[in-house]
């Protein structure tokens, strides 16, 4: 991802991403902010604390808005520093603490699950940047693991009879609660 950002100009960072309402600069600012928040979470277990991804009142979209307008060189270097800090936190993490938890937006997760969450976000947002990286470029381990997780929740998002009829090829795809 970082290598793909090198050739982007300031104008390219202002261009829309594939993520609704976000420019490429928003996506990069969001990723940097999230990586820094994960560094904080990873400091929790060694301190005997369970830390939250975001403190009360933190507005992720507002933070992305605040960082999105910076020069491309600043966005690139900020993301590189944030990723390097997170990787250093992982490298220094005590192997006995991977099952400890942090509080993500969706609830408590182990440190190992938080790493997987971060890697998924990087892959998905890499596509959102619309710089040539596509879902077909995702590693198979991401696709297979995430697909199983997403499909597990599908029945809760549609009428069961309509969903089954679609799966059997007898009806159109049902309306889902939330995005397809």
| pTM of the shown model | 0.88
Lookup result for tokens 């997780």: 149
Count of CB atoms situated within 10 Å of the CB of 38: 25
* 175 vs 87 pLDDT, higher one: 87
Interval 158-179 mean pLDDT: 88
| 62: its two tokens | 């507002």
Angle of CA points 109, 90, 106, to nearest 5°: 20
* 114 vs 178 pLDDT, higher one: 114
Give the DSSP per-residue string, 27-60: HHHHHHHHHHHHHHHHHTGGGT---BSS-TT--H
Q: What is the pLDDT of residues 121-134, one digit of tens each?
A: 999 999 999 999 99
The domains of the chain, with CATH numbers, are 2-138 (1.20.120.450)
Tell me: pLDDT of 179 over 90.
Answer: no
Tell me: pLDDT of 106 over 70.
Answer: yes
Q: Is the dihedral of CA 114, 22, 139, 106 positive or negative?
A: positive
Residue 60: per-residue pLDDT = 86
């Amino acid at each position: 991802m970082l290598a793909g950002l090198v050739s982007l100009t300031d104008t390219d960072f202002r261009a829309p991403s594939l993520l609704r309402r976000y420019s490429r600069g928003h996506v990069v600012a969001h990723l940097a902010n999230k990586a820094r928040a994960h560094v904080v979470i990873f400091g929790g277990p060694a301190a005997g604390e369970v830390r939250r991804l975001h403190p009360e009142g933190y507005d992720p979209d507002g933070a992305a808005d605040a960082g999105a307008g910076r020069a491309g060189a600043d966005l690139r270097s900020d993301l590189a520093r944030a990723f390097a800090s997170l990787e250093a936190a992982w490298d220094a993490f005590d192997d006995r603490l991977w099952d400890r938890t942090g509080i993500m937006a969706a609830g408590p997760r182990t440190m190992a699950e938080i790493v997987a969450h971060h890697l998924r976000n990087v892959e998905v947002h890499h596509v959102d940047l619309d710089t040539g990286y596509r879902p077909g470029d995702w590693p198979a381990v991401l696709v297979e693991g995430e697909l199983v997780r997403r499909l597990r929740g599908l029945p809760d998002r549609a009428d069961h009879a309509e969903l089954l009829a679609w799966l059997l090829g007898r009806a159109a795809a049902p309306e889902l609660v939330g995005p397809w």
